[in-house]
């Protein structure tokens, strides 16, 4: 069951040439890899609501920690 | 004298008393593509000057047609109907032979007209141009073209070109001998003329500016508010021409634009100056007056790094008053190359200027010379590293990857390489950059990148990016497909960087596909494109527990 479904759009991203390209459903953002690391890690903690307040279109679809781990580790799209 | 040009002495009226106005056409020659959306500003300036000075005695117009057979046919039909008595040709160093060929063709169409060559190449290769092409053009014009052209047209009106032949900046071939006068002095700025006074006949698309800040397309006009540049870059043809930096008075510029705005209702101004921000006081005065007179009109322009940084604190004020884009002469991320180009700027200052543009959410036009003759592989990699450091990996256009230093006539770099070669280059050609590289590794990289990748792969990548952009914006495209399309666009934009970087790192690679195997098949299937991502490992260990 995806978390934070109320926030709507799903986030998809790739990493390339040292940057993360994160599409929030409205547009694609370019983030420093460190910032992307921080953002994605934070999304899986109790600070998720704080992050989502800051990035209102942000939504990370994960069904389980393993799914998130796999998805984020390989930086796969979809 | 190749053309008859002059009216029959028995039928011509005295000056100013012709029954019908003398027609003058300035023909911006087709240069291997569609007509430029930016109309030929120099030709417009000269034509408008003639119209202002001679009033009802002349009808001056500018033609701006493409180079396709259909466009050429339209241009010929237009000229046949106009039947101009004087035809002017602005000539650029990159396309001399094309313009000469076009002039020869039109000579057959307009056998009685006086043909005049002008534009930067004539000035840069003066007086040799007259020697080489005086059999095609009755006159050639060096320096600011307004007063020499006026002297020639007055001579045609009078049926006596004696005074024109004495005028500064005029040259011609007489009995096989070259006759030239000293270059015309720069036209005083108070004599500059509203370039929009003359009609421009064209078959191209109207000029627009895409305003990404506001998500709309704006109707646009283009003009120059200043000429030349105070910098001394060793490769620049602009400063090889006579005259220092000079600018039109603010009140005059605003009046020109206000009058054109009443006619066309434009929404954006391209200031096509070589270096717009030379005088901060002038920029503040001009933009303040323009915003007061034409509120809501946006603008864009060009700058070198130092002058833009000097106005850094003004940028928010300028953005409030319509600034949307800056084309900037960064040129290189290599300290040695910047010295070679005599840019008198550091890599750090280049980076600061890019950051300034990005911080103010302006569009950046990136002038960048990726390849130059004395380059080494580490210096080429410095150019690539700068693009990454300055967050310039996602630019819409790819020219900054492919540009090589061009040796324009009259520039110090051209003189230096002619000295090394022990002979002058063809004065009407820009030498092939590929023939000038000293380092065999750079020759290899250039051939694989420009000769193979740019020629055989980049057009398809550009085309696919455009397809994906349209697909992502389509009303029927689902959210997932939109995201995937947008992410693919970024990955495809990175392909030139990856190919060039790998060619630098792999000294055995001689083709683009050896540098990036994806190019061998070049599949644009989504999975294949997404697999281009380098998927830098993300630091997520230990993974926190998800929110319950």
CA angle B344, B277, B396 (to 5 degrees): 80
Q: What does pTM read for this prediction?
A: 0.87
pLDDT digits (tens, 9 = 90+) for A59-72: 444 455 555 455 44
**Number of domains into which chain B is organized:** 2
Q: Min CA distance, B498 vs chain A (Å)?
A: 9
Residue reference for tokens 């500059």: B192
For residue A12, the chain B residues in CB contact (below 8 A) are 480, 483-484, 487
CATH number at B66 reads 3.40.50.2300
Q: Which of B388, B536, B546 sits opposite A65 (nearest CB)?
A: B546
User: What residues of chain A lie within 8 A of the CB of B490, using their CB?
Assistant: 14, 16, 21, 28, 30
- When CB atoms are compared, the residue of A28, A37, A46 closest to B539 is A37
**Looking at chain B, which residue has its C-alpha nearest residue A71?**
B538
Residues from B in contact with A at Cβ < 8 Å = 388, 391, 393-394, 479-480, 482-484, 486-487, 490-491, 494, 497-498, 530, 532-540, 543-547
B139 and B227 in one domain?
A: no
Establish whether this prediction's ipTM goes over 0.85.
no
Nearest CB to A15; choose among B497, B533, B547: B533
DSSP letters along B26-88, please? EEE---SSSPPSS--HHHHHHHHHHHHHHGGGEEEEEEE--SSHHHHHHHHHHHHHH--SEEE
Is B460 a domain residue? no
Residue A12 lies in domain: 5-74
Nearest alpha-carbon partner for B339 in B444, B412, B443: B412
A35: contact with B, CB 8 A cutoff? no
Answer whether A28's CB lies under 8 Å from A14's CB: no
B266/B123 same-domain check: no
Per-residue pLDDT tens, chain B, 548 aa: give them: 454 444 443 333 444 455 799 999 999 876 666 667 888 999 999 999 999 999 999 999 999 988 888 888 999 999 999 999 999 999 999 999 999 999 999 999 999 999 999 999 999 999 999 999 999 999 999 999 999 999 999 999 999 999 999 999 999 998 879 999 988 889 999 999 999 999 999 888 889 999 988 889 999 999 999 999 999 999 999 988 889 999 999 999 999 999 999 999 999 999 999 999 999 999 999 999 999 999 999 999 999 999 999 999 999 999 999 999 999 999 999 999 999 999 999 999 999 999 999 989 899 999 999 999 999 999 999 999 999 999 999 998 999 999 999 999 999 999 999 999 999 999 999 999 999 999 999 999 999 999 999 999 999 999 999 999 999 999 999 888 888 899 999 999 999 999 999 999 999 999 999 999 999 999 999 888 988 988 655 443 333 343 43
Out of B530, B537, B546, name the one closest to residue A3 (CB).
B546
Domain count, chain A: 1
Q: What is the domain-level CATH number for residue B228?
A: 3.20.20.70
Could you give phi then psi for residue B22, rounded to 5 degrees? Answer: -75, 130
B213 and B134 fall within a common domain: no
Nearest to A43 by CA among A25, A18, A68: A68
A12 to chain B nearest CA, in Å?
Answer: 7
Could you list the residue range(s) of the whole structural domain that residue B300 is in?
206-368
φ, ψ (nearest 5 deg) of residue A19:
-130, 155
A15 touches chain B (CB under 8 A): yes
β-sheet bridge partners, residue B220: B268
């Amino acid at each position: 069951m995806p978390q934070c479904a109320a926030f709507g759009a799903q986030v998809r991203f790739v990493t390339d040439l040292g940057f993360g390209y994160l599409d929030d459903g409205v547009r694609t953002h370019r983030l420093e890899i460190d910032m992307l690391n921080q953002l994605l890690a934070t999304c899986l903690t109790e600070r998720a609501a704080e992050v989502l307040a800051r990035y209102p279109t942000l939504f990370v679809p994960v069904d389980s920690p393993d799914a998130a781990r796999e998805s984020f580790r390989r930086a796969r799209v979809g | 004298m190749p053309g008859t040009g002059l009216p029959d002495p028995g039928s011509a009226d005295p000056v100013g008393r012709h029954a019908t106005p003398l027609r003058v056409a300035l023909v911006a020659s087709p240069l291997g593509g569609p007509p430029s959306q930016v109309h030929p500003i120099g030709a417009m300036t000269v034509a408008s000057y003639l119209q202002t000075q001679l009033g009802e005695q002349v009808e001056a117009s500018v033609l701006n047609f493409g180079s396709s057979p259909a466009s050429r046919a339209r241009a010929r039909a237009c000229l046949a109907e106009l039947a101009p008595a004087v035809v002017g040709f602005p000539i650029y160093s990159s396309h001399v032979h094309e313009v000469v060929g076009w002039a020869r063709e039109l000579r057959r169409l307009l056998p009685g007209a006086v043909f005049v060559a002008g534009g930067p190449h004539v000035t840069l290769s003066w007086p040799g141009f007259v020697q080489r092409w005086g059999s095609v053009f009755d006159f050639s014009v060096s320096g600011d073209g307004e007063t020499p052209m006026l002297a020639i047209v007055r001579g045609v009106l009078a049926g006596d070109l004696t005074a024109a032949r004495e005028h500064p900046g005029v040259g011609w071939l007489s009995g096989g001998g070259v006759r030239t006068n000293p270059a015309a002095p720069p036209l005083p700025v108070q004599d500059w003329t509203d370039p929009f006074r003359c009609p421009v006949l064209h078959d191209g698309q109207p000029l627009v500016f895409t305003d990404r800040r506001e998500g709309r397309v704006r109707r646009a006009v283009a003009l120059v508010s200043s000429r030349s540049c105070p910098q001394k870059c060793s490769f620049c043809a602009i400063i090889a021409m006579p005259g220092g930096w000079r600018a039109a008075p603010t009140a005059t510029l605003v009046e020109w634009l206000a009058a054109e705005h009443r006619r066309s209702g434009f929404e954006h101004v391209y200031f096509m100056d070589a270096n717009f921000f030379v005088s901060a006081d002038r920029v503040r005065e001009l933009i303040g007056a323009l915003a007061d007179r034409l509120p809501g009109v946006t603008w864009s322009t060009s700058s070198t790094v130092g002058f833009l940084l000097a106005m850094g604190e003004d940028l928010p004020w300028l953005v409030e008053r319509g600034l949307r884009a800056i084309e900037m002469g960064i040129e290189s991320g290599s300290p040695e190359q910047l010295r070679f180009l005599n840019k008198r700027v550091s890599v750090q200052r280049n980076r600061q200027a890019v950051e300034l543009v990005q911080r103010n959410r302006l569009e950046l036009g990136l002038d960048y010379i990726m390849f130059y003759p004395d380059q080494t592989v580490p210096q080429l990699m410095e150019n690539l590293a700068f693009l990454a450091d300055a967050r310039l990996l996602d630019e819409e256009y790819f020219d900054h990857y492919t540009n090589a230093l061009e040796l324009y006539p009259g520039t110090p770099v051209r003189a230096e390489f002619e000295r090394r070669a022990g002979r002058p280059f063809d004065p009407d050609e820009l030498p092939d950059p590929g023939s000038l590289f000293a380092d065999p590794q750079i020759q290899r990289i250039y051939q694989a990148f420009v000769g193979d990748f740019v020629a055989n792969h980049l057009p398809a990548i550009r085309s696919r990016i455009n397809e994906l952009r349209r697909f992502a914006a389509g009303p029927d495209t689902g959210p997932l497909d939109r995201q995937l399309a947008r992410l693919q666009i970024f990955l495809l934009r990175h392909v030139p960087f990856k190919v060039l970087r790998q060619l630098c790192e792999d000294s055995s690679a001689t083709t683009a596909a050896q540098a990036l195997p994806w190019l061998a098949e070049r599949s644009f299937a989504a999975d294949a494109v997404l697999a281009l991502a380098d998927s830098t490992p993300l630091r997520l260990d230990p993974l926190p527990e998800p929110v319950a």
